Amino acid sequence: MTESNKVLVVGAGPVGYTVALNLAQYGIPFTLLEVDNEISEDPRAGTIHPPTLEMFDRLGLNETIFERGYVVPNYHYRDRRQGLIADFDLGLLSVYTEYPFRLMLEQHKISHIISDRLDAFDNHQILRQHRVVTVGQDDDGVTVEAETPEGNKTFRGRYIIGCDGGRSQVRKSMDVDFEGFTFPERFLVVSTPYDFGEHGYAITNYISDPDEWCALFKVPGTDDAGLWRVVFPTNSEDDEADLFDDQSIEDRLQGFHPNPAAYQIVHRNLYTVHQRVASSYRDGRILIAGDAAHINNPLGGMGMNFGIHDAFNVTEKLAKIWFEDGDENLLDLYDRQRRTVAAEYLQLQTIENKKNIEQRDPVAREKFYDELRAIVADPDRQRTYLHRVAMIEGIERAASIT
Ligand SMILES: Cc1cc2nc3c(=O)[nH]c(=O)nc-3n(C[C@H](O)[C@H](O)[C@H](O)COP(=O)(O)OP(=O)(O)OC[C@H]3O[C@@H](n4cnc5c(N)ncnc54)[C@H](O)[C@@H]3O)c2cc1C
């Protein structure tokens, strides 16, 4: 192997790690460059959907993932005042998948599991404290400059895959647009060990309200004893210090679910929420995947899953090019397949999820609830609905694009 006969991967988030483990399994040498010194523990993704579990199975990860995560056989759609509207039975998906459920496991734990797995492979380097600042390409390969504690360093590779998140430097080097919009309100995420499960909530709940909707999930948490995350919208003019104030968080939680004792708060985080898709995922030898290529609101738990699906798609095509003399047009197919479903499916579904959960018109809201009730009352309709929201439809649609 010459020093440049490898793939450069930028960003060691869940998508960069998934790209890395796929490359390692195919036997493609790579260097992974990451700016942070360690895996970020920000409370972000916690939901893994069935197609992602099928893919993780191919990487031999599921034994560990299942040991550490919670299986979610059903989830609730609720109204904050009326209570339960629809209880979705993910078991109906068993005709499509051997994983007819969601699995809750925090994204940093997935990254750690993959990182441990990578130890079994040679032929790669993972370089932390390396911030990619420029990316260029010529006929033979790509050149990257990274800022490191020892000064700037240059790396060469045959291809580069930018998995460097929503503000991707790799994407910026491609001169593509990141089209879409940013919601005016930010999302507040609060974690507490308070056991909402004792009060009839499922492990995953979407709770509609015209004034203050919320989403409620249980994840394993630091000691695997269980931590509940509550996601609330905020007003665009709200000040961060006020949103994070202990009393304001307590009032918000008490307003949602009265608790005679004060809530114990483990995390409080605020996220700006966007809906954007890059106008191309490929520029010659430069590729992007995950949040670098598409970002969306977290209702439905899809962003990371979708990025992991990108990772499998792009590495499979690179392996064909690397080992089977495959045509480089395969990389355009990656762009067509994954960008089309990001626009047609990921964006539409997540925008619709937000529109429904915050619906202010009482007539439209009741109509939507009636629709959900009708869907859960009919197993065939429910299966078709779940086939879409469990991300199976997106995978099938991508595969249909040639
Ligand atoms: C509140 C919330 C809840 C969510 N819940 C879910 C969920 O349940 N399910 C789901 O599927 N998704 C969910 N998401 C979305 C999910 O968190 C993201 O889609 C996921 O993190 C994307 O992974 P990634 O690896 O593409 O990017 P990131 O996780 O952003 O990782 C990018 C990495 O690149 C590094 N980097 C950035 N710039 C550079 C540079 N110039 N040089 C080197 N390294 C660089 C960063 O340090 C980082 O490590 C949620 C998001 C939020 C905010």
26, 121 in Cβ contact below 8 A? no
Nearest CA to ligand 1 atom 15: 303
Nearest CA to ligand 1 atom 21: 304
Structure tokens given for 208: 């509609």
Backbone angles phi, psi at 306, to 5 degrees: -65, -40
* 191 closest CA partner among 117, 95, 269, 77: 269
State residue 325's pLDDT score: 86
Ligand 1 centroid to residue 17 C-alpha, Å: 11
d(CA 50, CA 93): 9
Ligand 1 centroid to residue 165 C-alpha, Å: 5
Q: Residue 137: what residue type?
A: Q
The 3 state secondary structure assigned to 213-267 is CEEEEEECCCCCCCEEEEEEECCCCCCHHHHHCHHHHHHHHHHHCCCCCCCCCCE
Ligand 1 centroid to residue 57 C-alpha, Å: 22
The domains of the chain are located at 7-70+104-182+275-357
On the 0-12 / 13-18 / 19+ scale of CB atoms within 10 A, 242 is: exposed
Nearest CA to ligand 1 atom 3: 44
Nearest CA to ligand 1 atom 35: 11
Mutational test site, ligand 1, from 52, 107, 114, max ligand atoms within 8 Å of CB: 107
Q: Other C-beta atoms within 10 Å of 239: how many?
A: 10
State residue 175's pLDDT score: 84
390, 90 in Cβ contact below 8 A? yes
d(CA 143, CA 31): 12
Task: Tell me the CATH number of domain 7-70+104-182+275-357, given options 3.50.50.60, 3.30.420.40, 3.90.79.10, 3.60.21.10.
Answer: 3.50.50.60
Could you tell me how many helices (H) and strands (E) the chain has, helices first? 13, 22
| Cα end-to-end distance, the chain, whole Å | 33
Nearest CA to ligand 1 atom 5: 45
Ligand 1 centroid to residue 332 C-alpha, Å: 24
30, 12 in Cβ contact below 8 A? no
Q: In order along the chain (402 residues), what is the average pLDDT of each group of 10 residues?
A: 83 98 98 97 93 97 96 97 97 98 97 97 96 96 97 97 98 95 95 96 97 97 92 92 95 95 94 97 98 97 97 98 92 97 94 95 96 98 97 96 96
Cα separations (Å) of 380 from 97, 118, 340? 16, 41, 27
Structure tokens given for 296: 């969306």
Ligand 1 centroid to residue 305 C-alpha, Å: 11
pTM, full prediction: 0.96
State residue 236's pLDDT score: 86
Atom of ligand 1 nearest to the CA of 15: 25
The pocket around ligand 1, CB under 6 angstroms, is made up of 10-16, 33-36, 40, 44-47, 107, 131-132, 163-165, 169, 187, 189, 271, 290-291, 298, 301-305, 307
Ligand 1 centroid to residue 346 C-alpha, Å: 16
